[in-house]
Each structure stands twice: as structure tokens, then as C-alpha cells.
Chains A and B, each alone.
Chain A
Amino acid sequence: MRAILSGVHPKQGGQQSLELELIDVPYAVTDLAMIFMEKNALATFNVPIHRGVRNNMLKVRVDMQSFTFEHRGQSDFSWEMYFAFNVDHQPYLLQVESEYVSGRHQLTLSSYFEINSDDEEHALLDVHTNQNVDDFSITSINLTQGGLTVTGHDTINGQRLGQQTLILKDQASGEQVEYADTVNLLHGLFAITIPVDQLNAGHFYDLRIEYHFQGQLVDQRVIWTRALAGQNDVQPQSNGQTVKIQATPTSGVVISVLPPLPLTAKVAALGSKAGRVRNKVRQLNTKVNNRYMRWLFKRNHRPFETTTIIFESFGGRQVSDSPLAIYRLFKRLYPGFQLIWSVDRSAVAACKANGIPYVVRRTAKWVRTLEKARFWISNARFPAWVKKPKSVTYIQTWHGTPLKKLGLDIENVTMPGTNTAAYHRNFVNEANRWDALVSPNDYSTQIFRSAFGFNNQILKVGYPRNDELINASADDITALKQKLNIPLDKKVVLYAPTYRDNQFAEKGKYTFELPFDLDQFKAQFGTDTVLILRMHYLISNALDISGYGDFVYDLSSYPNISDLYLVSDLLITDYSSVFFDYAYLKRPILFYPYDYHLYKDELRGFYLDYEKDLPGEIAHDEATLLKDIELYLQRPDMSADPKFQKFYDRFCSINDGLAAWKVVNYVVHQIEQ
């Protein structure tokens, strides 16, 4: 029996909703309550839970004001959490475990809370008050070619900060460089980049921030409360100067500008370089000599000195999906880490073209890199023969909200070369190598627990790949349309059907027909609408859309399907799980299962009831489909549709657009532990 904190969500009035996942808790539970205990003052309070347990999930609403009190000047409060309930008048008490990944939630200018876990992985709600009102804690700081980039939260307890301005103040002269060019990095995070190439050599600059909050101008010192590991804290400039970020003992940030090295120093450096080369050669010799020894030591691998994270997507076939979203954020916030993609040879060209560091799968270097890394982040399974060292934390993002039954939930496995028991055993063995599994919603969490027999940490943070759907602005969408050559004044319908095995069309042998008449489609909608096709590449190859150049766009091979979601106004699909992601946009979705009678047996293997649970209309024939398209193109926002909203609340409720950031935080938290 376990109770796991799986999420904390801000609510109106400064309240927070805590979400608990219950495991192996009997059904007829009564008198539910959360008991919070402050460890230092030994103070408790009990929050009765009036709502029942639904799908093993429980929500408790708390007011953060209740978590501070006057006690001998105490300003930091650390609360343990307990879940209490009765079954048949017998009392039960579970200490809540923590699987929630939390950043710092600023409550006021001088107080914040965060969720932590103790060394036995029990949840702690830490509230810090009486913080220095002159301090502003940032989330990342990096030097890049463009300058000094700082990111931070753009709200305090749900209220927006305005006109953030970063200030570099020269310690010697008091002169200030101000920069207010804020960009929204993610929902809830801002980023400001200050050019540093004009700073004075030999000078030191304090970093401050100004912003408007609740009608006041706030001026604060920027603080960085962690180690600078993973941040890019040194950057040579084109003028020969070197800019450095330094944290002061009081967590302040100082930017120093080192003048170009004089010739003598360069010569000295050259000497030391030569020394380093000699050392390398010596090390190489030692390595060769030690090779045999290492063989004897069963090829143990010592982790890289630099924190190294391996990313893999769909077994190395792509550089995509949630691992890519997480990679991008790491690259931006922690460029000091070594970030490497594990890819098949087929994906090497794409890596080279985009400057993505990679290692080719099934090579000796790949084995070595994997074994010496600290984290693996993948969206699919690694082969069973890949040995996961104890030093590795393996984060599985998975690749979609499950629609078709998975793993243990498949009662009868009829695949060649395996039987049901072996298939189930392999699945459970693999799944329990995952130290953490990203889940987009409670529905998926339950399925992951049952289908994978997964007992480790669930990070219910949403899918990182969907962050861009939530965070994209109207300008971003316009830019995407321009990139894809889609007319800005036309509506866009996206057709993304499932690939069916029986559709296998040998290239050049015959032409695949769409399950609706393109001519009729064009006649009805062609003047103000375009159609994007997103098919399996085999189908795409067999399609003949010549003659529809200004109306049909075959973007089947376009790498990022999220971009296609963003530019479209309506999605048509059938049995594909794409609609789980598309629903984040709250735009209309139509289901067109034109071969429903053939697919019916397959649908029994679905987790959802196809007739009841979908977030849109089902059109069983072409005429209904065209009628529905016409109707739903007029309804760009589906929020008012009760059936859609019910689906949205169930599957898309984690919509803060910070999933990747939370995974990044989880990794950084693991490193710091």
C-alpha cells in the first residue's frame, strides 16, 4: 500500500492542489485525510478529504498560508505528508512518497515553496519565508555567442511580472548596462540575453534585475543558489576577451571580463598545451597497457567526469519526440553537460546537418558512451542485452498516451518467436530498468503501472514533445506557415490516418487512393482551405496528388508532426493516437474510420471505448465527413463542447507547457543529490 505525491497545481486564491496516486489501497476507504507534520516544530494539521478516490487518484486542496506559523523565529518549514483513512473502522496511515518534480514556487517576494523528498524518498513540502526581498532567484544563466542569457519565472504566485530588465552594474564605475528584450522561453519562464562584447576588460559587473509587480517597480539582486555545473560559465569573445560567470559566496552573480592574454602568457599556455599532449600520449599508453587489466575487471566503466546524458528516440531511428524537447532545453539551460544522441546510421546525416552530437548505435564507442553516461533518456525500449550500469539513471519518456493495449494488458500474445509469458516477463524486466517514467496524465499512469508492471518513479509532468503545442504563439504559427508555404489566409485541414498493414503498396506498382474524393473535397472547400496529408511513408510514396498542388500538401516526411498540428485548424484521423496530442490545441477533431467494419476486432484491444470516449464526431461515410468538416471549421475553439472538454480534462489537464523543464529539473536534482 503506497501513497505517492504525483503533482502540485496552483489554483485560484493562492491555493495549491496536491495530487496523490494510491497503489494497492482497498476500495471502501472512509474518513480520508491528509495530515501534515512540520518536522522542526513538530506541528501538525489535518486536512479532511471530502472527495473520494477516483481512478486511484486523489486531490487535496491546501492553502499555502497554513504552512507557516510563528515559532521561535522559524522561517523555514519542512512538512512531511501522511495519508490517513479507515477501512471498516480500522485506521490506516501511509507516509506519502514523492515522485513529483518541483521547481521553486515563489509565493511572495520573500517566500517560496518547493517539493522535495527525504533520503527515504518520502515527500517533503518545504516552505521558506523571510527570504531576502532583495534577491531574485533565476533558473539558468549561460554565456553564449549572443551574450549572457538568463532565464527566470515570470510569475509570483500566479501574478505576472512585467517589463523585466537585466542590469549589469560595473563594480568600479557604477555604470549600468540595461537590457529588457524579454522572450518567453516556455510558459511561465522568461529569458533575457545581454550582449557582453562591449563590456570593459578587467572589470567586474554585478547582475541585478528590475521588473514591475503589483504596480510597483522591484529592483533585486540576481541570485544563483546552486552549483554552476552544467551552465556555460566561460565564453571567449571575438575581441580576445574572455567573459566569465562567477557566483559570490552570498549567491550573487558577478560577470567578469578578462582581458586578452599577452603573448608571454600565450607562449606559456602553448607549453602547457604541449605538456597536456605529452600527458595524453602517456595516458594513451597507460590505457593500452591497462586494457588487458580492464578486460579482467569485466570491462567496468567509470562514468565520464562531465555529466553525460544519452538521448534516443524510437530506437535511434530518429532525433525527435520528447527526448528532443528535453535535449533542446538542456542545450539551452545546461550547455556544460555532455549531451549525446544514440542514433542509427540512417540518422547520422540529420545529426551532422543540425550540429547534434551523436554516437552510432551498435558500435564499441556506443557501448562505452552508454556505459559511462550518467543518464539515458529514451522514448522506447533499449534491447534487453544493453546492460544498464548502476550509475545510470534511465528516464523513459514513452512515446504517446496509450490507445492500444500494451504489455501485460495484452492477454494473448500471438507474435512469432515468443509466448505470452515470455513477452510479459520481458516487458516487466525492461520496464523496471527505468528509474523514472514520464506520464502525461493519470490515465496513462494507471496503464503504465498495469501494462508495464512498473513500480518505480512516475514523473507525471506531461509530454515534453507537447510543450511547443502549449507554448506556441500566433506569431510562431505564422512563421511556421510561411516556412511550409501554406497560405496565411486559408484554413488548414490535417489528415493523419493510421497505417494499416493491408495497405502495403509496393512503390510504383499501383496508386493508393485516399478514402475520400479529393475533387469533391476541393470543390467544397478549395477556395479558402488547404489539406495537409500526414501518411505512412509507404502510402505517401504511392499517392498521386499531382494536379492538386495549390490545395494538397503532402507533408508525410516532414520531421516534426507538432508543427503540422500547430498550423492546422482541424484534424481528421481514425485509430491513431495523434488526437491525444492534438487535443491540447482545443481545435476540432473528426474521426473517419472508413473501414470500421474491418477494424472492429482490433478496437477490442483499445483502452478507450471508440464509440463513447473520443473528443470529436465520428463520420462513417464521406458525406458525413464533408458535412462535419464544414461545420467544425466554423468552431475553432472546442472548449464549449462538453464532450471535448471532458476529454481535455482527462487527458490534457497538465497543460502548463513545462514538461521538458520538469524533466530537466528532475535530472539536475538527481545530480545534486
Chain B
Amino acid sequence: MEPVVFLVTSLADVRKDRFGEKLHDLLDQGVAVKIIFADLDLLERAEFDHIIETLTARYDQAVTVESLYALFRLEKGAQLSANALVALAPGLQTKRVQLADGSYYVRYLKDDQIMSNDYYLKDGRHYYQVFYQNSQRQQVIFYGGQQRPRTVRNYRDDQAVETLLLNHAGELVYRFLHKRVMSQRRYNVSPASQLQLTKTIVPVTPGQQRKKKVDPQRTLTIVDEPITETAVIDYVNSRQFDGLYDFYGYVLTRFGSQQRLYVSLADTVALTTELPNQLIFNY
């Protein structure tokens, strides 16, 4: 069987039982597996790594994990503005906190205000740094064990408003703008339908009988819920992306058509639209 590429867009994806089942199924067959970690919340990377490590512990075969940084690190980008990265004022109090797994962080304090927590791996490599303003997150810079920042995430009122993907030279290659909006999703599928438009699947009461004729399937379900819309600005090719799934589609096509794609069922409807006529497996 051809090599397999998993697209992971959130931590919830890998927490699903079906992800583990599919992964084990493929590893049992000796299929080469690559995972693209495309979750823009890089702070979830540590837990992701831990889950993958647990899932693949009994296999000799390695699972390759690619990040968005690794994919685009050699692309030419735009210079970051001078004040794009938050800098700490000199003379702050510092306090080193040792964690049980051997990693540690350095806390920067100005009187009673935490200004930053700077995290290091147990081997001393720089992992990420969180900056605070009025005790709320202001910016997260993700180093991922490297000297230079890889990804920067900016917050307003503790909500992520943008994520900046950088290349190996620290230039900006992609800017992701996040906006919380109320969305109405409409669907006419039954609880038994495999495909759902939203991540919120119509709840099925335990033991609920499936009737021969289910009236609700004839009617449209309308769900109002806040969702995060993400716009993508391309500094590499100035390509116009119609949202995050268009970008994900682009990421997947960079792997060529020889790979078998696995995406989360929750992303399927949006993603298949970006990859027409392509067979996509789901987990």
C-alpha cells in the first residue's frame, strides 16, 4: 500500500479512539506513516507528541511527524516588524521552576505581575515562551527546541487573534487571522449518518431505537454556535486562500498524489471541497 499521510488539525483529532485504531491498523501492515501536525496552537504539540509516543510505543517502525514549520521553513518570507515580538524589560525578578519530567521554566515577575513564563526542555533547549499582560496571555513564541522562533501567536483578551508561521530565517511565511463568529450550520442528516457538518454530532440517547421512518431526517437542523474563522495571508507566493481548509488542501497537495490521505471526520466536509475527486480516508 502507498505511504499514508495523516492530517491533524487539533489535539481532539489524536485523542479519538478511531485515530489510534487506524494508526495501529496501518502500522500492523507495515505501511509508512507520516503525520502532519497542522494544529496552529503549538502549545498542544507537547501533548500531541506524548500521545503519539504512547500509541506507537510497541512498534519498531517510526512514525514521522512533520510540522507546518518543517514544511515551509525553506520558503522565502517577509521580514517581521521590529515590534512583532514582545520583549521583556530588563531588571525583572526571575524564578526557576523545576518540573517533574526534568523540564523547567523561568518565571519573570514585575512585583506581583507575571510578565512571562519561559519553558525549556530537560536537555536545556528552548521550547516556548508565554508573555502576559494583566495576567492574560499576550503572546506565545514557540521555539520547538531551536534557537530561533518558529511560530508566534498573539492574543487579545486571552483569545488567539493571529498566528504567525516563520521560516528558518525568522521571516514571516504565513499569517493566520482568527475571528470568533456566530455561525449557523444547517444539515439534514440523521444521527446515524456518518458524515456530520459540524463537530457537534446530534446526540443519540443511549438505547434510543432507530425508527423505520424518522421524521427529523426530513427536517433541517439549524445549529447556532460560535466558531473560529481563520483567514490565511500568504507571504511566500501571495496566493489567495479561501480560509484555513483551502490552506490545508494546499499543504496536502504538496505531498503529491502518491500518498493516501487520512483526515479527521470532523474536517471531512470542509476539506473534501478543497480536494475534489480525491479519495480521502477518515478517522
Chain A at the B interface: SS class: strand
With A93-B187, A119-B210, A120-B190 as contacts: A45 and B280 at CB distance below 8 Å: yes
Residue B96, interface by CB 8 Å: no
Closest CB in chain B relative to A233 CB, distance in Å: 31
Q: Is there an interface contact between A1 and B281, defined as CB atoms closer than 8 Å?
A: no
Residue B95, interface by CB 8 Å: no
With A46-B277, A95-B188 as contacts: A80 and B195 at CB distance below 8 Å: yes
Interface size range on B against A:
35 or more
- For B269, B277, B279, the residue with the greatest tally of chain A CB atoms inside 10 Å of its CB is B279
Q: Is there an interface contact between B187 and A42, defined as CB atoms closer than 8 Å?
A: no
With A1-B220, A37-B194 as contacts: A44 and B268 at CB distance below 8 Å: yes
Q: Is there an interface contact between A94 and B210, defined as CB atoms closer than 8 Å?
A: no
Residues of chain A within 8 A (CB-CB) of B265 are 42
Residue A91, interface by CB 8 Å: yes
Q: Which among B136-144, B152-160, B211-219 touches the partner chain?
A: B211-219
Residues of chain A within 8 A (CB-CB) of B269 are 35, 82, 84, 91, 93
Could you mark each residue 197-227 of chain B with 1 if its beta carbon is under 8 Å from any beta carbon of chain A, else 0? 1000000000000101110011110000000
CA distance A522 to B193 in the complex (A): 68
Residues of chain A within 8 A (CB-CB) of B278 are 45-46
With A95-B188, A121-B213 as contacts: A43 and B194 at CB distance below 8 Å: no
With A42-B265, A84-B269 as contacts: A91 and B193 at CB distance below 8 Å: no
Could you mark each residue 127-139 of chain A with 1 if its beta carbon is under 8 Å from any beta carbon of chain B, else 0? 0000000000000
Q: Is there an interface contact between B217 and A45, defined as CB atoms closer than 8 Å?
A: no
Could you mark each residue 250-283 of chain B with 1 if its beta carbon is under 8 Å from any beta carbon of chain A, else 0? 0000000000000001001110110111111111
- For A44, A46, A121, the residue with the greatest tally of chain B CB atoms inside 10 Å of its CB is A44
Residues of chain B within 8 A (CB-CB) of A92 are 186-188, 197
Question: Which 7 pairs show the lowest CB-CB distances between chains A and B?
Answer: A46-B272, A93-B197, A42-B282, A93-B187, A94-B188, A95-B189, A48-B276
Residues of chain A within 8 A (CB-CB) of B190 are 95, 120, 122
Among residues of A, the one whose C-beta sits closest to the C-beta of B22 is: A42
Could you mark each residue 505-539 of chain A with 1 if its beta carbon is under 8 Å from any beta carbon of chain B, else 0? 00000000000000000000000000000000000
Residues of chain A within 8 A (CB-CB) of B212 are 119-120
Residues of chain A within 8 A (CB-CB) of B275 are 46
Residue A39, interface by CB 8 Å: yes
Closest CB in chain A relative to B227 CB, distance in Å: 11
With A42-B283, A95-B190 as contacts: A35 and B272 at CB distance below 8 Å: yes
CA distance A92 to B269 in the complex (A): 10
Q: Is there an interface contact between A43 and B217, defined as CB atoms closer than 8 Å?
A: no
Residues of chain B within 8 A (CB-CB) of A39 are 194
With A82-B195, A120-B214, A122-B193 as contacts: A44 and B185 at CB distance below 8 Å: no
Residues of chain A within 8 A (CB-CB) of B272 are 33, 35, 44-46
With A43-B282, A90-B186, A120-B210 as contacts: A66 and B193 at CB distance below 8 Å: no
Among residues of A, the one whose C-beta sits closest to the C-beta of B193 is: A95
Residues of chain B within 8 A (CB-CB) of A90 are 183-186
Residue A399, interface by CB 8 Å: no
Interface residues of A in 1-54 (CB under 8 A from B): 1-3, 31, 33, 35, 37, 39, 41-48
Closest CB in chain B relative to A616 CB, distance in Å: 42
Interface residues of A in 294-326 (CB under 8 A from B): none
Residue A70, interface by CB 8 Å: yes
Q: Is there an interface contact between B277 and A95, defined as CB atoms closer than 8 Å?
A: no
Beyond the given pairs A92-B186, A93-B188, A120-B210, 18 more chain A to chain B contacts, judged by CB atoms under 8 angstroms and listed by A's residue number, are A2-B188, A2-B218, A33-B276, A35-B268, A35-B269, A41-B281, A42-B282, A43-B281, A44-B195, A45-B280, A46-B275, A70-B1, A80-B193, A92-B197, A93-B187, A95-B189, A122-B190, A122-B217
Interface residues of B in 1-43 (CB under 8 A from A): 1, 18, 25, 29
Interface size range on A against B:
35 or more
**A interface residues (Cβ-Cβ under 8 A, vs B):** 1-3, 31, 33, 35, 37, 39, 41-48, 66, 69-72, 80, 82, 84, 90-95, 97, 118-122
Residue B192, interface by CB 8 Å: yes
Q: Is there an interface contact between A84 and B193, defined as CB atoms closer than 8 Å?
A: no
CA distance A39 to B281 in the complex (A): 11
- For B18, B25, B186, B270, the residue with the greatest tally of chain A CB atoms inside 10 Å of its CB is B186
Closest CB in chain B relative to A71 CB, distance in Å: 8
CA distance A121 to B282 in the complex (A): 24
Residues of chain A within 8 A (CB-CB) of B183 are 90
Q: Is there an interface contact between B193 and A43, defined as CB atoms closer than 8 Å?
A: no
Residues of chain B within 8 A (CB-CB) of A121 are 213
Residues of chain B within 8 A (CB-CB) of A43 are 279-282
Closest CB in chain B relative to A222 CB, distance in Å: 35
CA distance A44 to B220 in the complex (A): 23
CA distance A119 to B183 in the complex (A): 32
Q: Is there an interface contact between B279 and A94, defined as CB atoms closer than 8 Å?
A: no
CA distance A417 to B280 in the complex (A): 62
Residues of chain B within 8 A (CB-CB) of A118 are 192
Q: Which of A44, A84, A120 is in CB contact (< 8 Å) with B217?
A: A120
